[in-house]
């Protein structure tokens, strides 16, 4: 098989809803085991990452540096537990390694360290960096693809995805990157905002209001796709719309995924207190059984 033909299966043949439950259990277990971490913004992004890694990204877990892969940049680095879980479940590394999160010598650092774990594109943790990196990556891909020898089948070009937190949008540098991407019509770039409405100090609209968020992105020249960020079918449709938009070469698109912070664990949902708190043994037990029984 030619390398250009490898891609993520559109129908992975596994139950993605069940997988989302497993990923949530991974997240809670990893953080409980580590004794610290950020459950809220990891739980809100589960469906987004499952859809990306199982149905959108062109990737090969056995070849993390495959030159034709699509690129995923996690800008909200504190949500790395969800990324680690989805990567492990996708086959990048053994699931048992999830138990090493935040431990000395682990490849699963408290915030992503790309030098340690193959498959991570870039380290992240200081907010407001990712969209610039993703845009530059997409510009670089576009430049190199334009140099491909004539006669080579063009196919679908590589794309770059960037997951941002909503609170993160308060960083001014995000909007610098938003301008650059629109100005350069960087249409192989897709941003995703995990719009869970809550940041460390409280509700985003109380700390520093972000609304009207859709019209902000639109005003910056982006194609805006709002979606229920916990509905896998809707997410799939949203990303397929972005795929079509990319082909139109008109500019970047952004999926604004309406989510619930701490989704799936009742006492964490919508609570800023669980932005960066580790569950004690009792909370952990409750969270795990809720997640198990919450499955239809």
Provide the binding-site residues for another protein, judged by CB under 8 A: 71, 113-115, 121-123, 125-126, 128-141, 143-144, 146-147, 160, 172-173, 176-177, 179-180, 183-184
Residue nearer to another protein on the CB measure, 48 or 131: 131
Residue nearer to another protein on the CB measure, 120 or 227: 120
State the nearest-atom distance from the C-beta of 287 to another protein, in Å: 31
Q: Which of 184, 185, 199 lies closest to 275 in space, CA to CA? A: 199
State the nearest-atom distance from the C-beta of 6 to another protein, in Å: 19
State the nearest-atom distance from the C-beta of 114 to another protein, in Å: 6
Residue nearer to another protein on the CB measure, 115 or 148: 115
Q: Which DSSP helix (H) or strand (E) runs through 228?
A: strand 223-228
- Cα separation, 257 vs 229, whole angstroms: 4
| 226, two tokens | 């709002």
Residue nearer to another protein on the CB measure, 92 or 137: 137
Residue nearer to another protein on the CB measure, 55 or 142: 142
Q: Which of 211, 221, 230, 231 lies closest to 254 in space, CA to CA? A: 221
State the nearest-atom distance from the C-beta of 61 to another protein, in Å: 19
State the nearest-atom distance from the C-beta of 31 to another protein, in Å: 23
DSSP state of 126: S
- Cα separation, 180 vs 135, whole angstroms: 8
- Cα separation, 107 vs 12, whole angstroms: 27
For the chain, helix (H) and strand (E) counts, in that order, are 10, 7
């Amino acid at each position: 098989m030619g390398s250009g033909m490898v891609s993520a299966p559109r129908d992975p043949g596994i139950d993605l809803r069940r997988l989302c439950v497993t990923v949530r259990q991974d997240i809670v277990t990893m953080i409980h085991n580590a004794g610290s971490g950020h459950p809220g913004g990891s739980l809100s992004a589960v469906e987004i990452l499952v859809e990306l890694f199982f149905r959108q990204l062109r990737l090969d877990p056995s070849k993390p540096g495959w030159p034709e892969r699509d690129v995923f940049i996690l800008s909200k680095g504190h949500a790395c537990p969800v990324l680690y879980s989805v990567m492990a479940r996708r086959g990048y590394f053994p699931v048992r390694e999830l138990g090493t999160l935040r431990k000395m010598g682990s490849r699963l650092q408290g915030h992503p360290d790309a030098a340690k774990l193959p498959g991570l594109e870039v380290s992240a943790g200081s907010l407001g960096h990712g969209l610039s990196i993703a845009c530059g990556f997409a510009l670089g891909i576009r430049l190199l693809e334009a140099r491909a020898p004539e006669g080579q089948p063009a196919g679908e070009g590589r794309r770059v995805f960037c997951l941002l937190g909503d609170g993160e949008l308060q960083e001014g540098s995000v909007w610098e990157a938003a301008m650059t991407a629109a100005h350069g019509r960087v249409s192989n770039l897709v941003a995703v905002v995990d719009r869970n409405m809550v940041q460390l100090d409280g509700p985003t609209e109380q700390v520093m209001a972000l609304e009207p968020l859709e019209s902000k992105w639109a005003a910056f020249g982006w194609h805006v796709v709002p979606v229920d960020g916990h509905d896998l079918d809707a997410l799939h449709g949203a990303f397929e719309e972005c795929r079509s938009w990319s082909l139109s070469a008109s500019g970047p698109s952004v999926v604004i995924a309406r989510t619930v912070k701490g989704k799936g664990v009742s006492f964490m949902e919508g609570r800023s207190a669980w932005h960066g708190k580790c569950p004690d043994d009792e909370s952990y037990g409750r969270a795990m059984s809720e997640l198990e029984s919450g499955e239809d």
